[in-house]
Amino acid sequence: MRLAILGAGPGGYAAAIKAARSGAQVTLIEAEEVGGVCLNLGCVPTKVLIASSVLFAKALRLEDFGIEVKGGITPNFPRMIERKNKIVTIQQKGIRNLLKGHGITLTEGRGTLTSPGEIRVALKNGSQDIVKTDGTIIATGSRPLQVQAFPFDGERILSSNDALQMEELPKSLLILGAGFIGCEFASFFRDLGVEVTVIEMLPRVVAGEDIEISALLEREFKKKGIKLLTGVKADKVDVRDDGIRVSFPDGKEVSGEKMLVAVGRAVNTEGIGLETVGVDRGSKGEILVDEKLQTNVPGIFAIGDVIGGFMLAHVASKEGKVAAQNAMGGNTTMDYTSVPSAIFTSPEIASVGLREQQALEKDIKVKTGHLQFRSLGKAHIIGEIEGLVKVISDASSDKVLGVHIIGPHASELIHEAALAIQKGLKTRDITDTIHVHPTLSEVILEAAEDVHGEATHVPKKLLT
Ligand code: FAD
Protein backbone atom coordinates (compact mmCIF):
# COMPACT_ATOMS: atom_id res chain seq x y z
CA MET A 1 0.00 0.00 0.00
CA ARG A 2 1.01 3.64 -0.49
CA LEU A 3 1.22 5.76 2.68
CA ALA A 4 1.86 9.51 2.77
CA ILE A 5 2.96 11.26 5.94
CA LEU A 6 2.81 15.01 6.34
CA GLY A 7 5.60 16.21 8.63
CA ALA A 8 8.91 14.52 9.50
CA GLY A 9 9.11 15.30 13.22
CA PRO A 10 9.49 12.53 15.81
CA GLY A 11 5.90 11.48 15.10
CA GLY A 12 6.12 11.50 11.30
CA TYR A 13 9.50 9.84 10.85
CA ALA A 14 8.76 7.12 13.45
CA ALA A 15 5.51 6.40 11.58
CA ALA A 16 7.39 6.30 8.25
CA ILE A 17 9.96 3.79 9.49
CA LYS A 18 7.32 1.58 11.11
CA ALA A 19 5.22 1.54 7.94
CA ALA A 20 8.20 0.94 5.63
CA ARG A 21 9.32 -2.00 7.80
CA SER A 22 5.81 -3.43 7.45
CA GLY A 23 6.03 -3.22 3.66
CA ALA A 24 4.32 0.08 2.81
CA GLN A 25 5.52 2.34 0.04
CA VAL A 26 6.06 5.49 2.09
CA THR A 27 6.35 9.14 1.07
CA LEU A 28 7.35 11.47 3.90
CA ILE A 29 6.69 15.14 3.18
CA GLU A 30 8.63 17.79 5.12
CA ALA A 31 8.45 21.55 4.69
CA GLU A 32 11.49 22.49 6.80
CA GLU A 33 13.98 19.91 8.11
CA VAL A 34 13.73 16.27 9.16
CA GLY A 35 13.45 15.78 12.91
CA GLY A 36 10.83 18.52 13.25
CA VAL A 37 10.64 20.82 16.26
CA CYS A 38 12.10 18.18 18.54
CA LEU A 39 15.41 17.89 16.75
CA ASN A 40 15.74 21.39 15.33
CA LEU A 41 14.08 23.76 17.80
CA GLY A 42 13.03 21.74 20.84
CA CYS A 43 14.17 18.69 22.80
CA VAL A 44 17.62 18.24 21.33
CA PRO A 45 18.99 21.80 21.00
CA THR A 46 17.70 22.81 24.44
CA LYS A 47 19.24 19.75 26.06
CA VAL A 48 22.57 20.27 24.30
CA LEU A 49 22.67 23.80 25.74
CA ILE A 50 21.51 22.62 29.16
CA ALA A 51 24.31 20.03 29.16
CA SER A 52 26.73 22.99 28.94
CA SER A 53 25.05 25.08 31.65
CA VAL A 54 24.84 22.13 34.04
CA LEU A 55 28.49 21.32 33.43
CA PHE A 56 29.43 24.96 33.97
CA ALA A 57 27.51 25.12 37.26
CA LYS A 58 29.20 21.93 38.42
CA ALA A 59 32.59 23.14 37.27
CA LEU A 60 32.20 26.11 39.61
CA ARG A 61 32.22 23.51 42.41
CA LEU A 62 35.24 21.56 41.17
CA GLU A 63 37.22 22.37 44.29
CA ASP A 64 34.61 20.44 46.33
CA PHE A 65 35.73 17.40 44.35
CA GLY A 66 39.39 18.00 45.05
CA ILE A 67 40.16 19.55 41.67
CA GLU A 68 41.95 22.87 41.65
CA VAL A 69 41.20 25.28 38.85
CA LYS A 70 44.02 27.66 38.06
CA GLY A 71 42.52 30.80 36.57
CA GLY A 72 38.79 31.22 36.13
CA ILE A 73 36.27 29.43 33.96
CA THR A 74 33.73 31.31 31.88
CA PRO A 75 30.88 30.25 29.61
CA ASN A 76 31.52 30.65 25.90
CA PHE A 77 27.99 31.00 24.59
CA PRO A 78 28.81 31.12 20.84
CA ARG A 79 30.75 27.83 21.29
CA MET A 80 27.71 26.30 22.98
CA ILE A 81 25.52 27.36 20.06
CA GLU A 82 28.10 25.98 17.63
CA ARG A 83 28.12 22.63 19.48
CA LYS A 84 24.32 22.59 19.46
CA ASN A 85 24.21 23.22 15.69
CA LYS A 86 26.80 20.50 15.08
CA ILE A 87 24.87 17.90 17.09
CA VAL A 88 21.61 18.81 15.37
CA THR A 89 23.26 18.43 11.95
CA ILE A 90 24.65 15.00 12.89
CA GLN A 91 21.19 13.87 14.00
CA GLN A 92 19.55 15.23 10.83
CA LYS A 93 21.99 13.20 8.76
CA GLY A 94 21.23 10.15 10.89
CA ILE A 95 17.50 10.47 10.20
CA ARG A 96 18.05 11.04 6.48
CA ASN A 97 20.18 7.88 6.35
CA LEU A 98 17.53 5.90 8.22
CA LEU A 99 14.85 7.06 5.79
CA LYS A 100 17.02 6.20 2.82
CA GLY A 101 17.91 2.82 4.27
CA HIS A 102 14.24 1.98 4.62
CA GLY A 103 13.43 3.02 1.05
CA ILE A 104 11.27 5.95 2.22
CA THR A 105 10.79 8.77 -0.30
CA LEU A 106 11.51 12.11 1.36
CA THR A 107 9.66 14.86 -0.47
CA GLU A 108 10.92 18.25 0.66
CA GLY A 109 8.20 20.86 0.48
CA ARG A 110 4.92 22.03 1.99
CA GLY A 111 2.06 19.60 1.54
CA THR A 112 -1.67 20.28 1.31
CA LEU A 113 -4.36 17.62 1.21
CA THR A 114 -6.44 18.12 -1.94
CA SER A 115 -8.54 14.96 -1.48
CA PRO A 116 -8.34 11.93 0.85
CA GLY A 117 -6.10 10.21 -1.72
CA GLU A 118 -3.95 13.12 -2.89
CA ILE A 119 -1.49 15.63 -1.49
CA ARG A 120 -0.14 18.59 -3.45
CA VAL A 121 3.40 19.55 -2.44
CA ALA A 122 4.94 22.97 -3.10
CA LEU A 123 8.53 21.78 -3.36
CA LYS A 124 11.42 23.72 -1.85
CA ASN A 125 12.88 24.12 -5.35
CA GLY A 126 9.78 26.07 -6.44
CA SER A 127 8.09 23.33 -8.47
CA GLN A 128 5.09 21.22 -7.50
CA ASP A 129 4.56 17.52 -6.90
CA ILE A 130 1.42 15.45 -6.53
CA VAL A 131 1.57 12.49 -4.14
CA LYS A 132 -1.11 9.83 -4.65
CA THR A 133 -1.81 7.76 -1.56
CA ASP A 134 -4.01 5.03 -0.06
CA GLY A 135 -3.61 6.38 3.47
CA THR A 136 -2.38 9.59 5.12
CA ILE A 137 -0.91 10.44 8.51
CA ILE A 138 -0.91 14.12 9.46
CA ALA A 139 2.01 14.96 11.76
CA THR A 140 2.44 18.69 11.20
CA GLY A 141 3.23 19.49 14.84
CA SER A 142 3.07 22.87 16.55
CA ARG A 143 4.77 26.26 16.84
CA PRO A 144 5.24 28.82 19.64
CA LEU A 145 1.94 30.41 20.65
CA GLN A 146 1.96 34.13 20.02
CA VAL A 147 -0.01 36.36 22.38
CA GLN A 148 -1.34 39.65 21.13
CA ALA A 149 0.05 41.74 24.00
CA PHE A 150 3.59 40.35 23.51
CA PRO A 151 4.22 39.88 19.77
CA PHE A 152 7.50 38.18 18.87
CA ASP A 153 9.96 40.50 17.15
CA GLY A 154 12.97 38.16 17.21
CA GLU A 155 15.06 40.90 18.81
CA ARG A 156 13.62 41.91 22.20
CA ILE A 157 10.51 39.71 22.44
CA LEU A 158 11.61 36.18 21.70
CA SER A 159 9.93 32.85 21.02
CA SER A 160 11.68 29.65 22.09
CA ASN A 161 12.83 29.38 18.44
CA ASP A 162 14.48 32.83 18.66
CA ALA A 163 16.09 32.05 22.02
CA LEU A 164 17.94 29.16 20.36
CA GLN A 165 19.38 31.48 17.70
CA MET A 166 20.79 34.13 20.04
CA GLU A 167 24.39 35.07 19.37
CA GLU A 168 25.30 36.25 22.82
CA LEU A 169 24.03 35.92 26.35
CA PRO A 170 21.76 38.74 27.46
CA LYS A 171 22.59 40.41 30.75
CA SER A 172 19.02 39.95 31.93
CA LEU A 173 16.00 38.03 30.69
CA LEU A 174 12.30 38.16 31.51
CA ILE A 175 10.53 34.85 30.91
CA LEU A 176 6.77 34.86 30.50
CA GLY A 177 5.38 31.44 31.38
CA ALA A 178 6.64 28.94 33.95
CA GLY A 179 5.67 25.78 32.10
CA PHE A 180 8.38 23.29 31.21
CA ILE A 181 9.82 25.34 28.34
CA GLY A 182 9.98 28.59 30.36
CA CYS A 183 11.52 26.82 33.35
CA GLU A 184 14.15 24.96 31.30
CA PHE A 185 15.29 28.23 29.73
CA ALA A 186 15.21 29.96 33.16
CA SER A 187 17.45 27.27 34.63
CA PHE A 188 19.81 27.32 31.64
CA PHE A 189 20.29 31.09 31.48
CA ARG A 190 20.56 31.50 35.26
CA ASP A 191 23.22 28.78 35.50
CA LEU A 192 25.22 30.82 32.99
CA GLY A 193 24.91 33.95 35.13
CA VAL A 194 22.04 35.79 33.40
CA GLU A 195 19.65 37.71 35.67
CA VAL A 196 16.36 35.86 35.18
CA THR A 197 12.84 36.87 36.17
CA VAL A 198 10.01 34.39 35.58
CA ILE A 199 6.45 35.71 35.33
CA GLU A 200 3.60 33.22 35.73
CA MET A 201 -0.14 33.76 35.91
CA LEU A 202 -0.77 30.52 37.84
CA PRO A 203 0.05 30.34 41.54
CA ARG A 204 3.06 28.06 41.05
CA VAL A 205 5.73 27.10 38.55
CA VAL A 206 5.32 23.88 36.49
CA ALA A 207 1.74 23.82 37.74
CA GLY A 208 0.99 20.48 36.08
CA GLU A 209 3.43 18.71 38.41
CA ASP A 210 2.73 17.31 41.86
CA ILE A 211 2.45 20.19 44.30
CA GLU A 212 5.47 19.08 46.39
CA ILE A 213 7.62 18.88 43.28
CA SER A 214 6.83 22.37 42.03
CA ALA A 215 7.32 23.76 45.56
CA LEU A 216 10.78 22.24 45.63
CA LEU A 217 11.64 23.59 42.18
CA GLU A 218 10.58 27.05 43.36
CA ARG A 219 12.91 26.71 46.35
CA GLU A 220 15.81 25.62 44.15
CA PHE A 221 15.12 28.40 41.62
CA LYS A 222 15.15 30.98 44.41
CA LYS A 223 18.41 29.55 45.72
CA LYS A 224 19.90 30.02 42.26
CA GLY A 225 18.78 33.65 42.31
CA ILE A 226 15.91 33.36 39.82
CA LYS A 227 13.26 35.97 40.60
CA LEU A 228 9.81 34.34 40.58
CA LEU A 229 6.64 36.34 40.10
CA THR A 230 3.78 33.83 40.34
CA GLY A 231 0.04 34.46 40.42
CA VAL A 232 0.47 37.67 38.41
CA LYS A 233 -0.72 38.55 34.94
CA ALA A 234 1.56 40.77 32.90
CA ASP A 235 -0.54 42.94 30.64
CA LYS A 236 1.70 45.36 28.77
CA VAL A 237 5.14 45.57 27.30
CA ASP A 238 7.18 48.58 26.42
CA VAL A 239 10.02 47.87 23.99
CA ARG A 240 12.85 50.41 24.14
CA ASP A 241 16.25 50.73 22.53
CA ASP A 242 17.99 49.55 25.68
CA GLY A 243 15.60 46.82 26.78
CA ILE A 244 12.12 45.92 27.69
CA ARG A 245 9.68 46.83 30.43
CA VAL A 246 6.69 44.71 31.39
CA SER A 247 3.89 46.11 33.48
CA PHE A 248 1.12 44.63 35.60
CA PRO A 249 -2.44 45.84 36.23
CA ASP A 250 -1.45 47.16 39.69
CA GLY A 251 1.09 49.49 38.07
CA LYS A 252 4.18 47.49 39.06
CA GLU A 253 6.88 46.96 36.43
CA VAL A 254 9.83 44.68 35.76
CA SER A 255 12.52 45.26 33.19
CA GLY A 256 15.12 43.23 31.35
CA GLU A 257 17.31 43.24 28.27
CA LYS A 258 15.11 40.71 26.45
CA MET A 259 11.94 38.78 27.04
CA LEU A 260 11.16 35.16 26.20
CA VAL A 261 7.48 34.38 25.75
CA ALA A 262 6.82 30.70 26.49
CA VAL A 263 3.11 30.52 27.16
CA GLY A 264 2.15 27.51 25.08
CA ARG A 265 2.04 26.00 21.60
CA ALA A 266 -0.27 26.56 18.63
CA VAL A 267 -1.10 23.52 16.47
CA ASN A 268 -0.16 23.54 12.77
CA THR A 269 -3.54 22.88 11.20
CA GLU A 270 -3.92 25.89 8.94
CA GLY A 271 -3.33 25.68 5.19
CA ILE A 272 -2.97 21.91 5.03
CA GLY A 273 -6.32 21.21 3.37
CA LEU A 274 -8.28 20.00 6.40
CA GLU A 275 -11.39 21.90 5.30
CA THR A 276 -11.10 20.53 1.75
CA VAL A 277 -11.11 16.92 2.93
CA GLY A 278 -13.48 17.56 5.88
CA VAL A 279 -11.25 16.67 8.86
CA ASP A 280 -12.82 17.79 12.17
CA ARG A 281 -10.94 19.97 14.66
CA GLY A 282 -11.42 20.80 18.35
CA SER A 283 -11.74 24.10 20.19
CA LYS A 284 -7.99 24.83 20.12
CA GLY A 285 -7.69 23.90 16.44
CA GLU A 286 -6.28 20.45 17.23
CA ILE A 287 -7.20 17.55 14.94
CA LEU A 288 -9.73 15.24 16.56
CA VAL A 289 -8.92 11.53 16.43
CA ASP A 290 -10.35 8.31 17.85
CA GLU A 291 -8.42 5.81 20.00
CA LYS A 292 -6.86 4.37 16.84
CA LEU A 293 -5.72 7.90 15.93
CA GLN A 294 -7.99 8.02 12.90
CA THR A 295 -9.75 11.29 12.09
CA ASN A 296 -13.43 11.42 11.10
CA VAL A 297 -12.27 10.88 7.49
CA PRO A 298 -11.53 7.18 6.90
CA GLY A 299 -7.90 6.57 5.96
CA ILE A 300 -6.67 9.90 7.37
CA PHE A 301 -4.85 9.63 10.70
CA ALA A 302 -3.23 12.32 12.87
CA ILE A 303 -0.53 12.11 15.53
CA GLY A 304 1.76 14.15 17.74
CA ASP A 305 1.45 17.78 18.77
CA VAL A 306 -1.17 18.47 16.09
CA ILE A 307 -3.73 16.40 18.03
CA GLY A 308 -3.01 18.30 21.29
CA GLY A 309 -2.81 16.17 24.41
CA PHE A 310 0.64 15.49 25.86
CA MET A 311 2.67 17.39 23.24
CA LEU A 312 5.81 15.36 23.93
CA ALA A 313 8.22 13.86 21.41
CA HIS A 314 8.14 10.32 22.81
CA VAL A 315 4.32 10.37 22.77
CA ALA A 316 4.37 11.58 19.15
CA SER A 317 6.71 8.70 18.20
CA LYS A 318 4.52 6.09 19.89
CA GLU A 319 1.43 7.55 18.23
CA GLY A 320 3.28 7.45 14.91
CA LYS A 321 3.89 3.72 15.26
CA VAL A 322 0.30 3.03 16.30
CA ALA A 323 -1.13 5.13 13.43
CA ALA A 324 1.20 3.46 10.91
CA GLN A 325 -0.05 0.03 11.97
CA ASN A 326 -3.69 1.12 11.79
CA ALA A 327 -3.27 2.89 8.44
CA MET A 328 -2.08 -0.48 7.12
CA GLY A 329 -5.17 -2.31 8.35
CA GLY A 330 -4.16 -2.90 11.97
CA ASN A 331 -6.39 -2.53 14.98
CA THR A 332 -4.14 -1.01 17.66
CA THR A 333 -5.26 1.55 20.20
CA MET A 334 -3.10 4.13 21.87
CA ASP A 335 -2.50 3.51 25.57
CA TYR A 336 -1.75 6.61 27.62
CA THR A 337 -1.74 4.84 31.03
CA SER A 338 1.88 5.48 31.86
CA VAL A 339 3.28 8.41 29.91
CA PRO A 340 6.44 9.63 31.64
CA SER A 341 7.51 13.24 31.27
CA ALA A 342 10.62 15.13 32.21
CA ILE A 343 11.62 18.74 32.73
CA PHE A 344 15.31 19.33 32.21
CA THR A 345 15.73 22.08 34.76
CA SER A 346 18.53 21.85 37.26
CA PRO A 347 17.51 19.94 39.33
CA GLU A 348 15.61 17.77 36.85
CA ILE A 349 12.00 16.77 37.28
CA ALA A 350 10.33 13.61 36.01
CA SER A 351 6.93 12.19 36.69
CA VAL A 352 4.48 9.53 35.68
CA GLY A 353 0.90 8.85 36.69
CA LEU A 354 -1.30 10.43 39.29
CA ARG A 355 -0.38 13.61 41.16
CA GLU A 356 -1.45 13.69 44.84
CA GLN A 357 -3.79 16.65 44.21
CA GLN A 358 -5.49 14.63 41.42
CA ALA A 359 -6.01 11.73 43.84
CA LEU A 360 -7.69 14.15 46.26
CA GLU A 361 -9.90 15.61 43.50
CA LYS A 362 -10.92 12.12 42.38
CA ASP A 363 -11.39 10.95 45.99
CA ILE A 364 -8.93 8.09 45.53
CA LYS A 365 -7.50 6.87 48.84
CA VAL A 366 -3.75 6.79 48.50
CA LYS A 367 -0.62 6.17 50.53
CA THR A 368 2.57 8.09 49.84
CA GLY A 369 6.23 7.32 50.38
CA HIS A 370 9.08 9.82 50.17
CA LEU A 371 12.80 9.72 50.04
CA GLN A 372 15.19 12.65 49.98
CA PHE A 373 18.16 12.26 47.64
CA ARG A 374 20.38 13.44 50.52
CA SER A 375 19.64 10.10 52.27
CA LEU A 376 21.54 8.26 49.55
CA GLY A 377 25.27 7.61 49.40
CA LYS A 378 25.29 8.04 45.61
CA ALA A 379 23.79 11.53 45.79
CA HIS A 380 26.70 12.59 48.03
CA ILE A 381 29.21 10.80 45.80
CA ILE A 382 28.16 12.86 42.77
CA GLY A 383 27.63 15.99 44.89
CA GLU A 384 23.94 16.39 44.03
CA ILE A 385 21.92 15.95 47.19
CA GLU A 386 18.92 18.21 46.56
CA GLY A 387 15.58 16.67 45.71
CA LEU A 388 13.21 13.91 46.55
CA VAL A 389 11.10 11.07 45.19
CA LYS A 390 7.45 10.66 46.02
CA VAL A 391 5.64 7.39 45.36
CA ILE A 392 1.85 7.37 45.39
CA SER A 393 0.06 4.03 45.72
CA ASP A 394 -3.52 2.89 45.95
CA ALA A 395 -4.28 2.55 49.67
CA SER A 396 -6.17 -0.71 49.28
CA SER A 397 -4.49 -2.53 46.36
CA ASP A 398 -0.93 -1.15 46.84
CA LYS A 399 -0.71 -0.57 43.07
CA VAL A 400 1.69 2.18 42.05
CA LEU A 401 -0.41 5.12 40.82
CA GLY A 402 2.17 7.85 40.48
CA VAL A 403 5.85 8.59 40.94
CA HIS A 404 7.31 12.08 41.04
CA ILE A 405 10.98 12.89 41.11
CA ILE A 406 12.94 16.08 41.48
CA GLY A 407 16.67 15.60 41.66
CA PRO A 408 19.72 14.32 39.77
CA HIS A 409 19.03 12.22 36.68
CA ALA A 410 15.28 12.23 37.34
CA SER A 411 14.64 11.81 33.60
CA GLU A 412 16.58 8.52 33.61
CA LEU A 413 15.15 7.24 36.90
CA ILE A 414 11.50 7.57 35.96
CA HIS A 415 11.33 4.52 33.69
CA GLU A 416 11.23 1.96 36.50
CA ALA A 417 8.12 3.76 37.72
CA ALA A 418 6.61 3.96 34.22
CA LEU A 419 7.07 0.21 33.81
CA ALA A 420 5.51 -0.42 37.23
CA ILE A 421 2.43 1.64 36.34
CA GLN A 422 2.17 0.21 32.83
CA LYS A 423 2.22 -3.34 34.16
CA GLY A 424 -0.04 -2.64 37.17
CA LEU A 425 2.73 -3.46 39.65
CA LYS A 426 2.55 -2.81 43.39
CA THR A 427 5.03 -0.94 45.56
CA ARG A 428 5.80 -4.38 47.03
CA ASP A 429 7.04 -5.46 43.57
CA ILE A 430 9.54 -2.59 43.72
CA THR A 431 10.60 -3.32 47.31
CA ASP A 432 11.07 -7.03 46.43
CA THR A 433 13.47 -6.06 43.63
CA ILE A 434 17.09 -5.72 44.73
CA HIS A 435 18.63 -2.45 43.50
CA VAL A 436 22.36 -1.92 42.97
CA HIS A 437 24.24 0.03 45.65
CA PRO A 438 25.41 2.78 45.49
CA THR A 439 23.07 4.13 42.80
CA LEU A 440 20.48 6.85 42.47
CA SER A 441 17.93 4.15 41.62
CA GLU A 442 17.87 3.24 45.31
CA VAL A 443 15.79 6.37 45.80
CA ILE A 444 12.82 4.68 44.09
CA LEU A 445 13.33 1.49 46.12
CA GLU A 446 13.40 3.37 49.40
CA ALA A 447 10.51 5.71 48.53
CA ALA A 448 8.47 2.55 47.79
CA GLU A 449 9.63 1.09 51.12
CA ASP A 450 8.59 4.33 52.81
CA VAL A 451 4.99 3.71 51.67
CA HIS A 452 5.11 0.87 54.22
CA GLY A 453 7.20 2.72 56.80
CA GLU A 454 10.20 0.50 55.99
CA ALA A 455 12.73 2.76 54.27
CA THR A 456 16.18 2.01 55.66
CA HIS A 457 17.48 5.56 55.37
CA VAL A 458 14.55 7.42 56.88
CA PRO A 459 15.03 8.34 60.54
CA LYS A 460 12.57 6.43 62.76
CA LYS A 461 10.75 9.55 63.91
CA LEU A 462 10.01 10.57 60.30
CA LEU A 463 8.57 7.22 59.24
CA THR A 464 5.03 7.64 57.89
P1 FAD B 1 6.99 18.45 15.13
O2 FAD B 1 8.23 18.03 15.80
O3 FAD B 1 6.46 19.82 15.39
O4 FAD B 1 7.21 18.24 13.60
C5 FAD B 1 6.26 18.61 12.66
C6 FAD B 1 6.94 18.75 11.33
O7 FAD B 1 5.94 18.94 10.35
C8 FAD B 1 7.86 19.96 11.26
O9 FAD B 1 9.13 19.54 10.82
C10 FAD B 1 7.20 20.87 10.23
O11 FAD B 1 8.14 21.56 9.44
C12 FAD B 1 6.43 19.88 9.40
N13 FAD B 1 5.27 20.46 8.70
C14 FAD B 1 4.31 21.26 9.21
N15 FAD B 1 3.40 21.55 8.25
C16 FAD B 1 3.79 20.89 7.14
C17 FAD B 1 3.24 20.78 5.83
N18 FAD B 1 2.12 21.40 5.48
N19 FAD B 1 3.92 20.02 4.92
C20 FAD B 1 5.07 19.37 5.28
N21 FAD B 1 5.61 19.46 6.49
C22 FAD B 1 4.97 20.21 7.41
N23 FAD B 1 9.38 17.04 24.08
C24 FAD B 1 9.94 16.04 24.78
O25 FAD B 1 9.41 14.93 24.79
N26 FAD B 1 11.11 16.23 25.48
C27 FAD B 1 11.71 17.43 25.53
O28 FAD B 1 12.75 17.58 26.17
C29 FAD B 1 11.14 18.50 24.82
N30 FAD B 1 11.71 19.72 24.83
C31 FAD B 1 11.17 20.72 24.10
C32 FAD B 1 11.76 21.97 24.13
C33 FAD B 1 11.22 23.01 23.40
C34 FAD B 1 11.88 24.37 23.44
C35 FAD B 1 10.06 22.80 22.61
C36 FAD B 1 9.48 23.91 21.77
C37 FAD B 1 9.46 21.57 22.57
C38 FAD B 1 9.99 20.51 23.33
N39 FAD B 1 9.40 19.26 23.35
C40 FAD B 1 9.95 18.26 24.08
C41 FAD B 1 8.17 18.98 22.58
C42 FAD B 1 8.50 18.24 21.28
O43 FAD B 1 9.40 19.01 20.53
C44 FAD B 1 7.22 17.99 20.49
O45 FAD B 1 6.29 17.34 21.30
C46 FAD B 1 7.51 17.14 19.27
O47 FAD B 1 8.45 17.75 18.42
C48 FAD B 1 6.22 16.87 18.49
O49 FAD B 1 6.52 16.07 17.40
P50 FAD B 1 5.59 16.05 16.11
O51 FAD B 1 6.15 15.00 15.21
O52 FAD B 1 4.18 15.96 16.49
O53 FAD B 1 5.75 17.48 15.44
Parse the chain into domains and list their residue ranges.
Answer: 2-144+266-327, 157-263, 341-462
Structure confidence by residue, pLDDT tens digits, 349-369? 999 999 998 998 999 999 999
Rounded to whole angstroms, how far apart are CA atoms 293 and 287? 10
**Residues 160-213 pLDDT 10s:** 999 999 999 999 999 999 999 999 999 999 999 999 999 999 999 999 999 999
Mutating to test ligand 1, I would choose from 27, 43, 112 the residue with most ligand atoms within 8 A of its C-beta, which is 43
pTM of the complete model:
0.97
Q: How large is the greatest C-alpha to C-alpha distance in the chain, in angstroms?
A: 74
Q: Does 341 sit in the ligand 1 pocket, CB within 6 Å?
A: no
Q: How far is the CA of 143 from the centre of ligand 1 (A)?
A: 8
Index of the ligand 1 atom closest to the CA of residue 341 = 25
Query: Ligand 1 mean position to 75 CA, how many Å?
Result: 29
115 neighbors 244 (Cβ within 8 angstroms):
no
- Listed residue (376, 358, 349) closest to 442, CA to CA: 376
State whether residue 359 is helix, strand or coil.
helix
What average pLDDT does the chain have? 97
- Residue with the nearest Cα to atom 28 of ligand 1? 43
C-beta of 293 in contact with ligand 1 (< 6 A):
no
DSSP helix/strand/coil, 231: coil
Give the C-alpha separation, 108 to 125, whole Å: 9
> What mean pLDDT comes out for the span 424-441?
98
pLDDT digits (tens, 9 = 90+) for 4-36: 999 999 999 999 999 999 999 999 999 999 999
Quickly count: other Cβ atoms within 10 Å of residue 68's Cβ: 6
Instruction: Specify the pLDDT at position 459.
Output: 79
Tell me whether the CATH fold assigned to 2-144+266-327 matches the one assigned to 157-263: yes
What pLDDT is stored for residue 462 in this prediction? 60
Distance 380 CA to ligand 1 centre (A): 37
Sign of CA dihedral 283, 230, 196, 67: negative
**What is the CATH class of 157-263?**
alpha beta
User: Which of the listed residues 37, 119, 130, 317 should we mutate to test ligand 1's pocket, taking the one with most ligand atoms within 8 A of CB?
Assistant: 37
Work out the percent of the chain whose per-residue pLDDT is above 70: 99
Closest approach atom of ligand 1 to CA 310 = 45
Is the predicted pLDDT of residue 339 greater than 80, yes or no?
yes
463 band by pLDDT with thresholds 50, 70 and 90: low
| Ligand 1 atom showing the smallest separation from residue 32 Cα | 11
CATH H superfamily, domain 2-144+266-327: FAD/NAD(P)-binding domain (3.50.50.60)
CB-ligand 1 contact for 317 (6 Å cutoff): no
Q: Does the structure show a pLDDT above 90 at 458?
A: no
CATH number, span 341-462: 3.30.390.30
- The per-residue pLDDT for 400 is 98
Question: Which pLDDT value is given to residue 460?
Answer: 72
Residues marked active site are found at 437
pLDDT band for position 443 (cuts 50, 70, 90): very high
Query: What does the pLDDT read at residue 461?
Result: 61
Instruction: State mean pLDDT over 332-356.
Output: 97
What integer pLDDT is reported at residue 74 of this predicted model?
A: 95
